[in-house]
Amino acid sequence: MQGRKTYQEKLFIQFQLSDYVPVDNFYRRLKETLDFEFLYATTSKYYGSEGQKSIDPVVFMKLVLVGYLENLNSDRRIISTAGMRMDILYFLGYDLGEELPWHSTLSRTRQLYGQEVFCELFRRVLGQCIEKGMVSGKRQAVDGVYIKANASLDSMVQKDILEDAENYARELKENEESPSPRSVEMKKTKDRHYPLLRPKKNPHNDTHISPSDPDAKMSVKKGKAMALNYLGQVCVDTASHMITHIQAFTADRKDSMCLPVLLPQLVDNLKEQGLNMEELLADTGYSSGEALKALEDNNIIGYIPNRPQFIYERVGFTYDHDGDYYICPNGKQLTYRGTGMSLGYLNKYYRANKKECNVCPLRDKCTVFKNKSRGALIQETVDKPYYDRMHLRMQTRKAKILMKKRQSTVEPVIGTLVNYLGMKRVNTKGLAQANKCLTMAAIAYNLKKMLKFSPKKRIDNLQRIKLAGKRLVQLIFDQLDLFVPAT
């Protein structure tokens, strides 16, 4: 006989939320693993002793974390999703039917707290990962990624227009307090003082700005459309793919400019947990004199391919360190003529006598003689010793292996953050708020890795590797015995 289910709500029901959340549920395990109690002491300075009670700091941080764990890029969606999920309610400490905080409370509280609150949570999660043996700390890989800002290119205005608008608003406010004939005249010529309808021509970061988010900068990635972005820098431990540091910069900065800034913070994150960083892997975008200096100042061995403009050795030209000059294949000197900026780099210029170059028999084959009105020119960066040492290091077999390891380590982590952990677009305004978003995305990533980590499984794998190594050594010895002459 065919069955038919009929539904009728019960007026009274005995229900306990913890009974319906499985023991192996992610949020139940997270609630038992991570302690948020430190937030009460850390955030106490942001509140007074009187007035209406605010949202619980622990509840706020858990709700924000849920947004990144569930890839929800909207405070409204975080609240609506949490209200429909029993496991999330249990994680938050709420019961069925209990009203959740209003979504606007999340954005206001996020702006209220400083970056140090989010960084403290990141360090605590990283510390737990290190205690479990998930981070070696010896070798780190770094890479950058553009993150869409919460602003539109269509809203950009010229900087001089924005300055005119600010000046007009300031004068208008002053004149409202004390009206004068000048204020009446300004009101009549409002369009002239505030010409927002002026057409935009070839917008650029130097000429245009977003009024809603001045820190958002125009940038473009190969194969992508131009957009207002932030630049995120992600540092990953190569042994376990755990994020050890993350930081946001304005998108008009180069990767090489970011490295000297983030390097001390990366080293401190590991030192606080008793780990010493020894090596750093990065791509060519991080190659600059300042970046290489920062690595050596922190006693870190870098593996960064030099930029294409750098020339390690000029065929036929010999450099004299004592006299600071070059000798060309014809035996003539290219003397030091001065130092100047070129393409954002500080360079030294060495030039030969133009009369000698014009009568030189090797002039047609000379690689540095390009202008008949002037002598041969060699342009060399002032940081050449740093590039030389990096060039020699990158020729080793170890460097080639590490470059492949860098690509397979940090790039998948960035892909996970962008596609699955809410880092494709920030839902805040300003660089300081973008930093908080990136930090929470990194926390969510590390927590997922930590809860999936199984020490027993890792030990089993190590034992298998050791056993395979012993078998390989035995096989080699067995093969060598075949070539030993019989006695």
Say which amino acid occupies 17.
Answer: L
Q: Is the pTM of this model over 0.75?
A: yes
| Strand segments (E) across 265-408 | 279-281, 301-303, 318-320, 325-327, 333-342, 345-351, 377-381
* Domain ranges (residues) in the chain: 17-113, 138-151+216-306+401-452, 157-199, 318-390
401: which residues sit within 8 A by CB, 6+ positions away? none
Low-confidence ranges of the chain (pLDDT < 50): 182-199, 459, 482-487
CATH of span 138-151+216-306+401-452: 3.30.420.10
Residue range 417-427, pLDDT digits in tens:
999 999 999 99
Sign of CA dihedral 403, 404, 405, 409: positive
Residue 165: both structure tokens together: 């608008």
Distance CA 356, CA 377 (A): 13
SS3 29: helix
SS3 301: strand
Distance CA 131, CA 17 (A): 32
Name which of 170, 198, 202, 201 is nearest 186 in CA terms.
170
Name the phi and psi angles at 415, rounded to 5.
-60, -40
Distance CA 165, CA 392 (A): 55
CA atoms within 13 A on the CB side of 255: 18
Query: How far is the CA of 480 from the CAs of 455, 466, 486, in angstroms?
Result: 38, 21, 13
In this prediction, residue 456 carries a pLDDT of 58
Question: 270: burial class by Cβ within 10 Å (0-12, 13-18, 19+)?
Answer: buried
In this prediction, residue 275 carries a pLDDT of 92
Produce one character per residue of 134-143: b if its CB has 16 or more CB atoms within 10 Å, e if not.
bbbbebbbbb
Strands 279-281 and 301-303: parallel
Residue 317: both structure tokens together: 């030209």
In this prediction, residue 186 carries a pLDDT of 47
In this prediction, residue 473 carries a pLDDT of 65
DSSP 419-475: HHSS-SB--S-SHHHHHHHHHHHHHHHHHHHHHH--HHHHHHHHHHHHHHHHHHHHH
Say which amino acid occupies 84.
Answer: M
Distance CA 54, CA 18 (A): 26
In this prediction, residue 484 carries a pLDDT of 44
Say which amino acid occupies 29.
Answer: R
Per DSSP, 216 falls in state -
Produce one character per residue of 324-353: b if its CB has 16 or more CB atoms within 10 Å, e if not.
ebbbbebebbbebeeeeeeeebebbbbbbe
Distance CA 92, CA 67 (A): 13
**Length of the chain measured in residues:** 487
Helix axes 255-271 and 289-297, enclosed angle (nearest 10): 10
Strands 318-320 and 301-303: unpaired
In this prediction, residue 193 carries a pLDDT of 44
Say which amino acid occupies 140.
Answer: Q
Question: 88: burial class by Cβ within 10 Å (0-12, 13-18, 19+)?
Answer: buried
Name which of 36, 240, 37 is nearest 129 in CA terms.
240
- Which residue has tokens 């993350």? 246
In this prediction, residue 113 carries a pLDDT of 95
Distance CA 107, CA 102 (A): 10
Residue range 220-276, pLDDT digits in tens:
877 778 889 999 999 999 998 999 999 999 999 999 999 999 999 999 999 998 999
